[in-house]
Structure 1
Amino acid sequence: MYTPFQSELWQGRTDTEEDRPAPRWHEVVKAFDEDLKGLQQAPVVLGFSCDEGVRRNKGRTGAADGPDALRKALAGLSWQPITYLGAELHDHLYDAGTVNCVAEDMEAAQLEYAHRLAHIVQRGGLPIGLGGGHEIAWASYSGLEAALRQQGKDVANLAVLNIDAHLDLRKPAEQGSSGTPFRQIAEHRESHGWEVNYGCLGVNPSANTRALFDFAADKDVYWRADLDCTELDLPAIDLALRDFLSDKSGLYLTICLDAISAPFAPGVSAPSALGLSPNVVLRIIHQLRQMCDELSVPLYLVDVAEMNPRFDIDGRTAKLAARLIQACVE
């Protein structure tokens, strides 16, 4: 099922007293039209209302309400000029609506989400996925690959970087879940003879089994533990990410909010007792944006997963997620 753009979700204050433009996100958002072309990396939000993958993974459900909570948190943010590869581009934000999982049919929702995301990429937009459980990642990757292949672009050297407490490399049993998307991506890429090209920052060693680490080692996955993702580690992270991206044709960045310490991000499916500092995550995002410009590696796609309003406190997780999204696009 699909829910189109809902303007009532985008509400906020308007600063009419200023003598110069002072827009906020709710003032520049427009409904995405599939006939649009040449968007030049204009951000296009696309919701994925689903926590069936979380349920299958035995997590606490509620992430299906994440997309609308994120829209409401984004609405009041200050809107800054968008730049891409150092050039200021546009002052537009688009909302492509929300794909909803119905009757536990997660696979159908993933297919529809991938289809709609591919349309955004084909028209030059930068999709901003709003989850939903981390099963969004398999749908996101599938849509991105389909769009790039149709455009004749290099998919073999595409990189996937995950900021997450979990590697999410579980082997699917009968069905996928929020814990399997990067295993699905890895096996799909290998079936085409491509390198896996997967990295994960903020991994909690106590929340990932030996089997997952063995699989990661076998596939040459780059990962870094949560204890090694402090502000003091940022120079080393920068060097590692430059090496990770140096020969890549593009980047898909996915952020699982459960990577962040629970006092800052309580509204997630699996809160982190330790987790990363929001400052570190923001700085990593800023480093990545600058790095992509310097290395001419397009940032093709960003999504945020595991936003669970049912367990949020004072909207702090949604507000933090909005700040992270803002850092990705401005």
Structure 2
Amino acid sequence: MYKLAQPELWTGRVDSETDESQFRYFQTVNFRNINDHFNESRQGIGLLGYAVDKGVELNKGRLGAKEGPDAIKKILANLPDLRKSNVYDYGNVEHDHDTLEETQKEFAQYVATSIQRHKQTFLLGGGHDIAYAQYLGVREAHSEASLGVINIDAHFDTRLEPQSTSGTSFRQILEQDQKADYLVLGIQQSGNTQGLFDYAEEKDIGFVYADELLHQISPPIKDKVERFIHDHDVIMFTICMDVIDSAFAPGVSANGVLGLFPHIVLELAKRIIPNEKVSTISIAETNPKYDVDNRTAKLSANFLHHFIL
């Protein structure tokens, strides 16, 4: 179910009502219905929430991620608008269909629309089943392209299940799309069964362990990411916040220790996002129910703030 943006989420400190150099996002954001037609062609930023944690429930995770999009928007609202890019908040999609797959297909239609309208599309979760919905939208917009999927995540999320969950998105993509490849950065040995590593070998999934990303990104890893981007026409980029150590991001659906430091994630993302091949960016699994002092929502919003071109 599509719900329009809520302007009341966008509030903050007023440093000036006239000097645009002192404006924050709540003073510059635009509110639009995704179904309306307007004259934008690959301009500005589309922002759409996936207020859904049904996939997390089906994956036996901690519920609460459906509150993530609004929590992130509340924090972003008070951050300074340094880029002067027009941001359009299209609201959220909620789950009210009989199956999660139907909700994912609905979300995908809006993703495709935003890709056609804007130079960047940011998708805020919600469970990481947002990734399959994101993929469907990217495929609708780029039907014949060679697609590279880059995921910063502690988990492969390639489980074999009879239905969509927050842990199946990337298996679904690989099983149905011969033109899609998958690269995961931040994999934790303790977060994936041997069967998932076997599947990664079978499908030639590229991955980098979290242990390899402790303090810096080594030249071989930089080359790995750059080659992956070079080899594909379009890049779909997603971050699962559970890749970050729980000291920095406690409010996620499946928190873990020995995770990445936020600045490493930021550095990785900055090597990916500026490329014109990147059509969409999603941030998944922010779960306000388990957050501490809005720590995870703040981190997600600040990632978004850095990613806006």
Task: State if a TM-score over 0.5 links the two structures.
Answer: yes
Deviation at 1:133, TM superposition (A): 0.2
Q: CA RMSD in A?
A: 1.7
Residue aligned with 2:204, SS: coil
8 A contact 1:10–1:75 mirrored in 2: yes
Provide the residue aligned with 1:5 in structure 2: 5
Instruction: Identify which of 276, 284, 303 aligns with 1:305.
Output: 284
Q: Contact between 1:285 and 1:327, CA under 8 Å: does it hold in 2? A: no
The DSSP-based 3-state class of the residue aligned with 1:270 is: coil
- CA separation in 1, counterparts of 2:140 and 2:217? 36
- Are 1:32 and 1:44, in contact at CA under 8 Å, matched by a contact in 2? no
Deviates more, 1:229-238 or 1:268-277: 229-238
From 76, 80, 104, the equivalent of 1:74 is 76
Q: Deviations over 1:36-62 (max 9, x none)?
A: 344435211101111111111111111
TM-score between both structures, scaled by the size of structure 2: 0.94
Alpha-carbon deviation of 1:230? 2.3
What pairs up with 1:117-132 in 2 under 5 angstroms? 117-132=111-126
* Residue of structure 1 equivalent to 2:28: 28
Secondary structure of 2:21's counterpart equals coil
Q: How many pairs align?
A: 307
Cα gap change, 1:104 to 1:279, in 2 (>3 Å): farther
Q: TM-score, normalised by structure 1?
A: 0.88
User: Could you say which residue in structure 1 is the equivalent of 2:295?
Assistant: 316
2:266 counterpart residue number: 282
Question: Is 1:37–1:124's contact at 8 Å kept on the other side of the alignment?
Answer: no
What is the DSSP-based 3-state SS (H/G/I as helix, E as strand, rest coil) of the residue aligned with 1:21? helix
Find the aligned partners of 1:233 and 1:116 in 2 and give their Cα distance: 35
Tell whether 2:193 aligns with 1:209: yes
Report the equivalent of 1:231: 215
| Counterpart contact for 2:22–2:80, Cα < 8 Å | yes
Are the equivalent residues in 1 in contact too, given 2:41–2:116 (CA < 8 A)? Answer: no
2:163 to 150, 162, 175: 175
CA contact (8 A) 2:42 2:116 kept: no
Cα deviations by residue, 1:112-144 (Å, 9 ceiling, x for unpaired): 101111111122342211100000011011011
Pick the aligned partner of 2:134 from 140, 146, 169: 140
Give me the whole-angstrom Cα distance separating, in 2, the residues matched to 1:167 and 1:205. Answer: 10
Gaps of 5+ in 2: none
User: Separation in 2 of the partners of 1:202 and 1:37?
Assistant: 40
- Alpha-carbon distance in structure 2 between the residues aligned to 1:318 and 1:48: 15
Structure 2 distance, partners of 1:276, 1:309, is 20
State whether residues 216 and 264 of structure 2, in contact with CA within 8 Å, keep that contact through their aligned partners in structure 1.
no
Q: Match of 1:94, SS?
A: strand
Cα deviation digits, residues 222-270 of structure 1 (max 9, x gap): 1001101123334332111111111211211100000000010000011
1:44 is aligned to 2:46:
yes
Q: Secondary structure at the match of 2:22?
A: coil
Alignment counterpart, residue 184 of structure 1, candidates 150, 172, 176: 172
Name the structure 1 match of 2:94: 100
Determine if contact 1:73/1:322 at 8 Å carries over to the other structure.
yes
Q: 1 CA distance for matches of 2:24 and 2:147? A: 33
Give the share of equivalent positions with the same residue, in percent: 39
The offset of 1:187, in angstroms, is 0.7
Give 5+ residue unaligned stretches, structure 1: 82-89
Asked whether the equivalents of residues 121 and 300 of structure 1 are also in contact (C-alpha less than 8 Å), the reply is: yes
The corresponding residue for 1:112 is 106
C-alpha contact (below 8 Å) 1:118/1:146 kept by paired residues: yes
Q: Which amino acid in the other structure matches residue 105 of structure 2?
A: L
Deviation at 1:283, TM superposition (A): 0.9
Look up the equivalent residue of 1:62 and give its one-letter code.
Answer: G
For residues 270 and 206 of structure 2, the distance between their equivalents in structure 1, rounded to whole angstroms, comes to 20
Q: Which amino acid aligns with 1:28?
A: T
Superimposed CA distance per residue, residues 17-43 of structure 1 (whole angstroms, 9 cap, x where no aligned partner):
896622211111111354134443521
